[in-house]
Structure formats: structure tokens, C-alpha cells
Structure 1
Amino acid sequence: MCLDLEWGLCVQRAHTLICFSCSDASSNWACLKPVKCGENENHCVTTYVGVGLGGKSGQSISKGCSPICPSAGINLGIAAASVYCCDSFLCNISGSSSVRASYAILALGILVSFIYVLQARQ
């Protein structure tokens, strides 16, 4: 990328974005490996998926660099998914807790699915 200055000079902007990276990790502790982003990757992205069904729960966290910023989130009680992005040095350190499913809602979802399974067996 070239920044045009007053006198027609062209100055190249240094690209040094570094993000944390992991793929389908079960905890945020496994997502603390820093990687240097490519020239066209201007965002750090964290993807979180959490599910609680039938007395079992799990989560998956993925992090890395991205050329786009796809922020989104959904919480269905028994499942939650979110994508969080930022654009500064190692800014994706958290497990996207700001859009993570609340434990109370997940517990309620697990309880409801457990009751449903018990009623279906009768």
C-alpha cells in the first residue's frame, strides 16, 4: 500500500501485524501461538463455538489472521457461535468471551435437553 504525501512522494507502510493462531482448540490456553500475518491480512480473528446438549458440553476456538473482519455472534441457549476481529498487535488473546454463551444459559439448555431425553425414553 502506498501513502501519497503532499509532494507526490510514495511511502510504503510496514506490515507487522501479529496475531495468535490455533485451530479447533478446546481451550484458550492452546491458542497462544503468535504468527505473522500475510501482506493482505489486516485483522486478527477469533472464532468460538460452544455447545451443551444432553448433559455434555464442549467448545472449539480457532484464531488467526484474515483479510476481512467478519464480526458476528449468535446464542441459542444450548449453542453459541461468535466471530470477533481486531486489528492491533496480538489483540486476539481472549477466547472471545464478550460473545461467548453464558454458563447459566448453557446450563439451562443442558437441563432442558436432559429432560427432553428422559421424556423421550418413557
Structure 2
Amino acid sequence: MKALLVALLAAVLCAQQASSLFCYTCENEHSNWNCMRTYKCEDHEKYCTTTYSTAGFGKDVGQRITKKCSVDCPETNVNFGMAAYSTKCCSTSLCNFSGANSIRINYAMILLGIAGSLIYMLRVGL
């Protein structure tokens, strides 16, 4: 009987440890190196997320990184040319180490917008 209780206690303790998720956290940081703080997520939070946003043009491009625990997995990847926004998620402890830096300013979209504006102005001016 004692052996059964010890085995049951060990199983419960192992199950509790397995459900603990740890994520890196930060809020609107300029660099991924400022996002090395770890946090034990709540039991209902099952994902680590990294949100990476950029805005600007050329040397004036700014970036922001936010990392946190999350209940759901809101993966997004939006690129507006001069601004971009990406959220990646994962579900193992400390899996959000690197930034979600798969987004880049899309210079082709910027050039297409400039060309479209020029064509419009030429047509209106005629």
C-alpha cells in the first residue's frame, strides 16, 4: 500500500512540473538582448509569444520587441511597406529566445506605391 501511495505521489509531482511553462518576457524593447528576463507562466497560458514590429525607412527604421506568455497562439505576419508586424509563438519552455525577425521593410512595395502616385499625378495633371 505504501509503495502505491509513493508511486501516486511521484506521478502527481511529475505531472505538476511538466505543466510549468517558462517564457522570456519584455515589453516594447529596442533590442532582443533586453528580453532575457524569464517568467513562469500561469497554468492556463500554454504559449510563449514574440511580437516584432518595424517602422520607418532607410536608416530611420525603428523596431520594437515584446515577449510574453499567452493563452492562445496569435501568429501574424503583416507588411505595409514602411511598417511591418509579426507575431510568432511556440509551446516549450524558453522557446521564444530569438526575436521574430522574419519581417523586413518591403522596399518593392514602397517603390510600387511611389510609381503609382507618379502615374496618378501625371494623369491628373494632363
TM-score calculated relative to the size of structure 1: 0.70
Matches within 5 A, 1:12-91: 13-14=15-16, 15-53=19-57, 56-91=60-95
- More strand by percentage: 1
RMSD of Structure 2 on Structure 1 (CA): 2.6
SS at match of 1:97: coil
C-alpha distance in 1, partners of 2:20/2:101?
26
% identical aligned pairs: 38
Return 5+ residue gaps in structure 1 as ranges.
1-10, 117-122
In structure 2, C-alpha distance between the alignment counterparts of 1:29 and 1:67, rounded to whole Å: 25
Task: Tell me how far apart the structure 1 counterparts of residues 70 and 60 of structure 2 sit (CA, whole Å).
Answer: 32
Q: In structure 2, what is the equivalent of residue 101 of structure 1?
A: 104
Q: Which runs of 5+ in 2 are unaligned?
A: 1-10, 118-126
- For the pair shown, the structure with the greater C-alpha radius of gyration is 2
1:19 positional shift = 0.4
* Cα distance, 1:16–1:106 mapped onto 2, change above 3 Å: farther
TM-score, structure 2 normalization: 0.68
For residue 4 of structure 2, what is the aligned residue in structure 1? none
Q: Larger helix proportion, structure 1 or 2?
A: 2
